Amino acid sequence: MESVIVAIDGPSGTGKSSTSRAVAAELGLSYLDTGAQYRAITWWMLTNGIDVDDPGAVAAVCGKPVIESGTDPLAPAISVDGADAAGPIRTREVTSKVSAVSAVPEVRTRITELQRAIAAAAEKGIVVEGRDIGTTVLPGADVKIFLTASPEARAARRSGELKGKEAADLASTREALIRRDAADSSRKASPLAKADDAVEVDTTDLTLQQVIECVVALVEEKRAAR
Ligand SMILES: Nc1ncnc2c1ncn2[C@@H]1O[C@H](COP(=O)(O)OP(=O)(O)O)[C@@H](O)[C@H]1O
Ligand SMILES: Nc1ccn([C@H]2C[C@H](O)[C@@H](COP(=O)(O)OP(=O)(O)O)O2)c(=O)n1
């Protein structure tokens, strides 16, 4: 069967990661979490004392960290300079700084190159999730999905994931999420946006299973039409 490239974009908490992993696993495709790559480079900047609010300082060193992404949807993995980074990239500190780092054009150029190389190497095809996959990274993707959901639904999903010290109340989770979406949507370099030819799926009142079925159906429809 010919390889297929699926781009899944949308704001935080719309279900991109869960949907992408499940669709890739079901269809035997590779999987790439591009948000994890931006989180990894942000984590490296913070660990190395770089002032992440200074775009010049970020641009000057953004070629240094070696970022490697696993592409098995059943075992998502990310490492920085050979060290497992899956845990540290999910802290609230990284989450609060990732929009500033990912707005730096030099960072985007570098990470976009990595993403295209990974997609090109995926023999059976790949599901790539992020913010600008359908518009910029892989504009020729076979299937493009743009997931949305109400801020209330997204905040409820996100705060359900946070535990212990990191747990925040619903209102502050909602505020942080809205702030990050606004930053990601308004930056100059490749902002969060729906591609003109993407299918928009509002997941507010859908179960995860329904979203997965919807995306699998769109991919199978595309394959059948070839
Ligand atoms: N349709 C859905 N209904 C309810 N919960 C969902 C749905 N889709 C995803 N979730 C849950 O919401 C949380 C955020 O999903 P995730 O896939 O990480 O979103 P994103 O990658 O867009 O930020 C996860 O805990 C996930 O299990
Ligand atoms: N293709 C992408 C993917 C993520 N980013 C940036 C912007 C996002 O706020 C961060 C983190 O993305 P991630 O998908 O991990 O975020 P959430 O899982 O939605 O919390 O990375 C980006 O600029 N471009």
Query: In tens digits, what is the pLDDT along the chain, a chain of 226 residues?
Result: 679 999 999 999 999 999 999 999 999 999 999 999 999 999 999 999 999 999 999 999 999 999 999 999 999 999 999 999 999 999 999 999 999 999 999 999 999 999 999 999 999 999 999 999 999 999 999 999 999 999 999 999 988 776 554 555 788 889 999 999 999 999 999 999 999 999 999 999 999 999 999 999 999 999 898 8
Q: How far is the CA of 130 from the centre of ligand 2 (A)?
A: 6
| Residue 10 is assigned to a ligand binding site | yes
Q: What's the pLDDT at 162?
A: 66
Q: What's the pLDDT at 163?
A: 59
Domain ranges for the chain: 4-219
Ligand 2 atom closest to Cα of residue 103:
23
Q: What's the pLDDT at 1?
A: 64
Determine whether domain 4-219 maps to CATH 3.40.30.10.
Answer: no
| Residue 190 is assigned to a ligand binding site | no
What is 147-214 written as a DSSP string?
A: EE--HHHHHHHHHHH--GGG---HHHHHHHHHHHHHHHHH-SSS-S---TTPEEEE-TTS-HHHHHHH
Mutate to test the pocket of ligand 1, among 8, 14, 18 (most ligand atoms within 8 A of CB): 18
Q: How far is the CA of 18 from the centre of ligand 1 (A)?
A: 6
Q: What's the pLDDT at 166?
A: 52
Which DSSP category does 138 fall into?
-
Mutate to test the pocket of ligand 2, among 95, 99, 102 (most ligand atoms within 8 A of CB): 102
Q: What's the pLDDT at 165?
A: 47
Q: What's the pLDDT at 169?
A: 76
CA dist., res. 19 & res. 24, Å (int): 8
DSSP helix/strand/coil, 73: coil
Task: Please tell me the pTM assigned to this model.
Answer: 0.96
Number of H helices, E strands in the chain: 8, 8
